[in-house]
Every structure is written in C-alpha cells, then in structure tokens.
Amino acid sequence: MSDPKPELKQLRAELGGVNYLLADARAREVAAALERFRQDVALLGITEQEVCRALGYDRPECQPAKYFDPVTGNKWSGKVKRPRRLVGKRLEHYAIDAPPPQAWWPDEE
C-alpha cells in the first residue's frame, strides 16, 4: 500500500517553485511601487533631502543656538521655553555673535 503523503524531495521542489513565484511577484510589485513613487516625486518636486528625511535617513538640522551662558556653557536656540538660567535676564547679553554688553553710566553720553 502506498502512502498518499508527498515525499520530502517533492515538497522541497514545490517549495522552491513557490519561493520563485513569491520573489518574482515581489520584484514586480516593488518595481511598480517605485515607478509610482518616482512619478509622484517628479510631479510634486520633492527633493532628495525631503525623501531621506521622510524615510528617517536624514534628520533635520537642530535649531542653531542663539544664546550662550558663559557661566554654565549651555546654549539655547530661543525656539523652546526659556531656560531657568535666563529667566528675568536680558537676552541680548547672552546672544551669540553679539558684542559684549557695555556698562552704562548715567554721567556719560
């Protein structure tokens, strides 16, 4: 009496055929998706940098520091909440690339 179950050799051959079909289908779908993407990029004028950022390969530059505290060495961009060390202080005294604050004397004009 013969066993109706396929043999290992036959199953491996069938699996190889299915894997080939899967790889071929994937390659065709990837090519179609990339072509649609290429067309959308061209249509919208999307830059390479924008694509890289959207895919997470290129992080946007951090905001450049505008203020510097010479005592602590910490910098602040001015875009988020003011740090405690600068609360109540004149920001122009801490501006990067700004001339150092000049003393003001009432009798000088």
Mean pLDDT of the chain: 82
Q: Residue 107: what pLDDT?
A: 61
Nearest to 86 by CA among 61, 102, 66, 64: 66
Nearest to 51 by CA among 66, 63, 40, 64: 40
**pLDDT tens per residue across span 8-56:** 999 999 999 999 999 999 999 999 999 999 999 999 999 888 888 888 8
CA angle, residues 10, 24, 19, in degrees to nearest 5: 25
From the number of C-beta atoms within 10 Å of its C-beta (0-12, 13-18, 19+), residue 103 rates as exposed
Whether the CA torsion 70, 76, 77, 83 is positive or negative: it is negative
Which pTM was predicted? Answer: 0.46
Q: What is the dihedral of CA 83, 84, 90, 93, to 10 degrees?
A: -70
**pLDDT tens per residue across span 51-97:** 888 888 876 666 678 888 777 788 888 787 888 888 888 888 888 87
